[in-house]
Structure 1
């Protein structure tokens, strides 16, 4: 097991940043910069480094952050023109950075400083190379937009790049971004070099410097296809709707679409990335058996400097009856550091399940099965999907890879894309239920692909979900009452787990279903939630309180505790380096253990369906195999450290706009082959024991209450033996009814084991519907016991339980936690516009507590209300301080401050409608190092 060593941690993160940088252009070999290079650094992005995304995936309190400019200034081999920096710093004083108001309202970019042509010309006389840094944030709760300053460059940014490239002979553009952006400006302005450096966490600048100065040759590869136009993506017309999104593109996501019907619309293909050296890749098909295809490859460095290369394997399956992408990514490997003229032989095993097709219509005679249709399968090897060369083929008889049962099929009619041969205007394929007519789409005359895209009707659900649930009802364990057994007795083999569960009352079982937080005092301060043994009764049975913290790019602790901030998910995916990612996450796991955290809320595993999804930065790729393999590497690292990851968001969380409301309409085939496959790989390869569902719905059901998702597929088919938790304050529904946050009985029925989160586990019966639905028989004690078994099994394997059993001693390893609170100011609470405050008697002397502020308001007038919060913080600007507002224990929103270095700051948040009457208000935060100066509850005119 790794110990927590910050220097080694930083070293691994720095290497990951360097290996994740994707070089798209390097004309004239402008990179790497030679020793002694004088650089002119332009762009407001040089002074506002985006270390990570917004929201739960990026709000980590870091000790330090190294920006690209910081790293360049510290370099002994590269000099920075400080005259230019001084002009930017003067301008920033007059034009301060827009920090926004909480993570849902932060601008996607910062205002760029206009520069005259004369200023740039003078800079050119003093310097050898110009570096332009373009920055974009990314975040939870808001999508990217097809606007200037978001997906597109602003006019000022365009003018800056234009003037710099026209003036400087050598120019480099670095993209410090979370998501891919429009790239047509590269052809228009022709910079010498262009590189995606992504958002690299606290070691980001150092990793980028290593590539710029040639310490590391870039080896990162694109995890997404970059098309010329945003409209060219097949999901473009079906993304971003407020109410419903039809997944018409079906399995043709990213390169699977472009390589099949629109290769001419690709600017930079999936898997592409340049190096400072050149490689020669060859290969052959070594072996084909019932389960896999083994490819032998040879890689030779034919250039004149050291470097690593990524070998990629793609399969072209016959179109058959089902229709398939022309290329399917099936395996990869990264070489070691190869010296000039050095070679390496690598064998890559590609499971057939990676390129099998799911028959959701029964066209092949095997409905609800993964199959390989008969014919010739071609194998391609190379360093991108576009450059991969055919190195052989194999003949495949029809084969059922896995026979399953129908699950998650849509209930609403729609059409999906289907390839049509360019030589056939119209074709008909046989469906077990009906003929599906495929009309040839309008052909693009410039497209050199063999297929155009037609459409076919999507098979609808044929099974009764209610009958399935009824037939699979778990048996009830006889209630015995307390027989004196504790969970230790199960761990030590004295009793089995069902004997233990038989002791638990109905109330105990209901409480096990409820997580508590955020920032519960029962676990590590500032973390996302506690679950497990949260009540006195459950504690008496020896059930530990289990801790989970936001991730996946680092431990978010809202009490100000510092943690290491890792690079974003997309950057980690771009490394294509499983071994390095595993090492990095082993250090991450050691840090979790140091802070007594049982599970981190990550990795993020959703597919980049469309470039504008705001949360793409937290995820990996448009490809499901790469996503599954990289996330498996992360989980294996955590497991080696003795902690767990909670893979999320299960599944199809593909837009942030109205993420909890917009209904996805998706074929079973697309779910099976694209949106579920990555989760399946991660679970089956690692034995991961924690999964988080999404906020949103698809095919009529919110995921937190979807039985086929949480039980049929996850547990019955994949053999998952762990917990499923909701996202925070999620909703659920009974099929055919509207969603409701109180409907946690639907979650119990689905085997979504834990609702996150409650303010008080013991006092939820009046808030949720579990007890009421149990009383009338809509959920059973057997279902509650089944879910409790899942939670208890997780507890038995947890870090907390190992400590409880004395198997891990963290006495010297764990930190001293400062839970004291010393307010140094007077708090002013103002209830504006016709309402007044009434502080309850027990809180009359002190409304400040160590998890926030509590007070009552009375005589409110009906209307829309906001909360204005004014704080002072001793933390630095890298510290994120979320402050949440609850009305009668109903979550109304979060304001995120940054550390103010002792200065006063104020933000406002809408808390929605209030009627006439009295309300209980909770302003929740971790107050260490924070002074709450004023809270104003005001009615908006």
Structure 2
């Protein structure tokens, strides 16, 4: 792929993302057919977010540099079929000029949850009513990495100005639609107090989100999205609220009863909008024949044949058919509903119908027994009884469907599905939810029981499963290509590596490494001369999952957030979207997209929910598979994250997830299991947080027992950037230098050390020290090296021509009619220039040659804050300086080389992610 295409967005990608963004819009209310907007109507649009329309959440998952973006008001004005109240639009435009978008200074996690709203007066609203027929109110929210939502005004709750806006508009207009441009569900209990006729979630739709929302509002696209979360009346109604947000410990007392599993089992009255719900501009009816059991490829299944008909007369549309399981309570206890299948119809014209087939594996209905109450501890089982199925269009709007003319699928006696071994069980005591007696309304009494604790010895498990050490041979002339050509085994190849080389290969460099595509997240593989000599290429990763982040300022396509993608309930269109993402990754010579994010949306306040898909593990897994398959088809690889149980951003690097083994296996790990087994993912990123006392990056049962042992994963596992690790056996305190603990757990790559730092980082981590002390074996290091080398053979980089030259090349001096002598600094040997962050400086080169650049820099942010800037000489970007937060301390960073001739040069600092301070730039002559 030509380097000339790097930073050039893929043709047609943004346009297709617009189609996907419209598919995920969820219509929750539409009284009196208020939507769509009609051709004979004049529309008044209220709310500043009409112009400052959000395209993504904040942090690494939203940091995509785009060539353009769209907003709602301009997109509506592009529509010929409606008229917009231009007077009101101008009032907002003028006010926003005086009250510009607040990005919080551009620092990491600095952008506020909402933007200050323009105060409305009765006069403004009355005049708008005089000029128009309907009102559209736009409300926006954001949150993201390191910034949770809060149960306060301006975040989960509306502000006083927003409520006043709704009050004034509904007092004057008979038809009012509210559009929620949010990254996550927010409180909508205010609907009970105001006469709002329509409510539409458009989420964050990426760079084409404004146009996609306008397509839905005017009826060019009929909404077909469905909720992937339950919307309760109050934040305290969510079962996780009691234990959410602590600094050190998050107890998962709700166990498997997350989201609708809790509400439908224990508290249906607390639900305002149920899981799976969403309206259309048309109507549908469906019929489902009795299901049938069939054997397919030697596996027993249940098949549902459903006929769906568009019964409306005006609009084409799509419907989502959902199948829910009601398992017998047995000894384990069960939620009254669990999603087990779904499908979306094609676009049905009025009067048109379609038959769809949904197929469910019987063994997928099993539950995990972590207590042994069924007689099969640490096993998936089907307890005896009738397994009932409910087919419909949301978790509430269903009909019960028989199986083989019987009431459900009958299991006469307990059936062992799969015997496993205990893994990840908690080490401290707590109580978890359990259904008690059945109540008159069909729900269950809420009770609590003791949670099973760890019984196995993790020490014995690790020590009895140590990999054998390969005898080191030194360089025998074998290259990685020889392994690919099957001339030598990968074990023979890795046996050549010295201890120093083994310690080097497990370190990724970045961010913005000059060895790979500029501005990306990391470089790994051939990050030293000796590893390059063995034929290891340098692979590249880039932040996602909603587009490629390049902190050098290079442009990419930003697609809808995970919330919206899952709301489409259409894995086919999501896969097609990520085929294009894979192609754009390949165009930019990037091997791994750091996504999808597939943690469960356990609680509405998690700031990173926008990267994730759903409160339901099955829906999450289906969308994750579609995402990964698409990327692979497009020519790159996916990296599911954050493995695992990242359910809050507050104290995300230290808050311990105290959770049962059953909840982990049936809910929090299920999406990861699905993408590994069915999605072709070759990379996994672990989370920052500990799980039951062991940090994710050094959690042996997570990364070895389950991921590699049970699921058969043969790719690479990497840490999140600058993660901490603790002892896989004894737990204890964590430290980011504990790479020996990471390797023991079979997390292969530490992300990241400084650029050019992988080979010389031995004093900054404990790898070689632990090897010498015997707390890490050479066999364990060699095992991770094998994993990395195996991945590199499968990675796109292995078939790419690479030139490992980090020189920008030759740069000609400027010519001036009159030199700006007052700002010129002479570039003498080892001279340090002091750049100005606001104005350019000039420097004069007396001695031509090639120079290595170094930067003394700092950032006032905390250790996980990420900032970057470009070094621009003569209006050309020659290097990118990037750092995580340094707490204001100055560090030195090695940058690219550049060839300079005699003459005068202009140097500027261009900030791509504010927060970095470049104190000095040094040019050291290398030849």
TM-score range (shorter-chain normalised) is 0.7 to 0.9
Match of 2:306 in 1: 297
Verify: 1:14 aligned to 2:1, yes or no: no
Match of 2:748 in 1: 753
- 1:435-450 alignment, distance < 5 Å: 448-450=441-443
Deviation at 1:264, TM superposition (A): 0.8
Aligned to 2:75, what secondary structure does the other structure show?
helix
Aligned to 2:211, what secondary structure does the other structure show?
helix
Verify: 1:65 aligned to 2:75, yes or no: no
Q: Is the 8 A contact 2:340 2:618 kept in 1?
A: yes
- 1:44-83 alignment, distance < 5 Å: 44-83=48-87
Deviation at 1:539, TM superposition (A): 0.2
- 1:423-502 alignment, distance < 5 Å: 448-502=441-495
Match of 2:281 in 1: 276
Verify: 1:783 aligned to 2:795, yes or no: no
- Distance, in Å, in 1 between the alignment partners of 2:871 and 2:206 is 18
Aligned to 1:622, what secondary structure does the other structure show?
coil
Q: Is the 8 A contact 1:249 1:416 kept in 2?
A: yes
Deviation at 1:37, TM superposition (A): 2.5
Aligned to 1:365, what secondary structure does the other structure show?
coil
Distance 1:330 1:580, change over 3 A: same
Verify: 1:182 aligned to 2:182, yes or no: no
Match of 1:396 in 2: 411
Match of 2:739 in 1: 744
Q: Is the 8 A contact 1:281 1:298 kept in 2?
A: yes
- Distance, in Å, in 1 between the alignment partners of 2:734 and 2:222 is 51
TM-score normalised according to structure 2 size: 0.88
Identify which of 81, 86, 89 aligns with 1:85.
Answer: 89
Verify: 1:383 aligned to 2:393, yes or no: yes
Q: Is the 8 A contact 1:589 1:642 kept in 2?
A: yes
Alignment gaps of 5+ in structure 1: 424-446, 806-810, 830-838, 849-867, 874-882
Identify which of 355, 365, 375 aligns with 2:365.
Answer: 355
- Distance, in Å, in 1 between the alignment partners of 2:245 and 2:839 is 36
Deviation at 1:7, TM superposition (A): 4.8
- Distance, in Å, in 2 between the alignment partners of 1:515 and 1:889 is 22
Deviation at 1:897, TM superposition (A): 8.7
Q: Is the 8 A contact 1:871 1:931 kept in 2?
A: no
- Distance, in Å, in 2 between the alignment partners of 1:688 and 1:332 is 23
Q: Is the 8 A contact 2:514 2:896 kept in 1?
A: no
Identify which of 429, 433, 440 aligns with 1:413.
Answer: 429
Greater CA deviation, 343-352 or 886-895? 886-895
Q: Is the 8 A contact 2:871 2:908 kept in 1?
A: no
Verify: 1:584 aligned to 2:577, yes or no: yes
- Distance, in Å, in 1 between the alignment partners of 2:820 and 2:240 is 54
Match of 2:318 in 1: 308
Match of 1:438 in 2: none
Q: Is the 8 A contact 1:103 1:139 kept in 2?
A: no
Identify which of 286, 290, 294 aligns with 2:292.
Answer: 286
TM-score normalised according to structure 1 size: 0.87
Aligned to 2:191, what secondary structure does the other structure show?
helix
Deviation at 1:190, TM superposition (A): 2.4
Greater CA deviation, 477-486 or 528-537? 477-486
- Distance, in Å, in 1 between the alignment partners of 2:249 and 2:237 is 21
Q: Is the 8 A contact 1:870 1:935 kept in 2?
A: no
RMSD: 3.3
Match of 1:213 in 2: 218
Deviation at 1:292, TM superposition (A): 3.0
- Distance, in Å, in 1 between the alignment partners of 2:907 and 2:83 is 41
Match of 1:774 in 2: 771
Deviation at 1:343, TM superposition (A): 1.1
Deviation at 1:111, TM superposition (A): 0.6
Q: Is the 8 A contact 1:328 1:355 kept in 2?
A: no
Verify: 1:368 aligned to 2:378, yes or no: yes
Post-superposition Cα deviations, 1:146-184, rounded to whole Å, max 9, x if no partner, equal: 010100000110010111112111111100000100001
Match of 1:676 in 2: 669
Post-superposition Cα deviations, 1:782-811, rounded to whole Å, max 9, x if no partner, equal: 101110111011100011102259xxxxx9
Deviation at 1:74, TM superposition (A): 1.1
Identify which of 109, 112, 123 aligns with 1:104.
Answer: 109
- Distance, in Å, in 1 between the alignment partners of 2:840 and 2:165 is 38
Alignment gaps of 5+ in structure 2: 403-407, 842-854, 876-881, 898-905, 921-927
- Distance, in Å, in 2 between the alignment partners of 1:123 and 1:294 is 55
- Distance, in Å, in 1 between the alignment partners of 2:884 and 2:378 is 48
Verify: 1:244 aligned to 2:237, yes or no: no
- Distance, in Å, in 1 between the alignment partners of 2:477 and 2:781 is 21
Q: Is the 8 A contact 2:862 2:887 kept in 1?
A: no
- Distance, in Å, in 2 between the alignment partners of 1:245 and 1:106 is 26
Identify which of 695, 705, 708 aligns with 2:701.
Answer: 708
- 1:614-693 alignment, distance < 5 Å: 614-693=607-686
Post-superposition Cα deviations, 1:40-85, rounded to whole Å, max 9, x if no partner, equal: 1110111211100111101000011111112111111122222112
Q: Is the 8 A contact 1:408 1:708 kept in 2?
A: yes
Deviation at 1:103, TM superposition (A): 2.9
Distance 1:480 1:355, change over 3 A: same
Q: Is the 8 A contact 2:866 2:883 kept in 1?
A: no
- Distance, in Å, in 2 between the alignment partners of 1:751 and 1:488 is 24
Match of 2:924 in 1: none
Match of 1:29 in 2: 33
Identify which of 831, 835, 857 aligns with 1:844.
Answer: 831
Deviation at 1:928, TM superposition (A): 10
- Distance, in Å, in 2 between the alignment partners of 1:208 and 1:871 is 40
- Distance, in Å, in 2 between the alignment partners of 1:150 and 1:503 is 56
- Distance, in Å, in 1 between the alignment partners of 2:717 and 2:25 is 34
Aligned to 2:779, what secondary structure does the other structure show?
helix
Distance 1:823 1:100, change over 3 A: farther
Distance 1:306 1:593, change over 3 A: same
Deviation at 1:209, TM superposition (A): 1.5
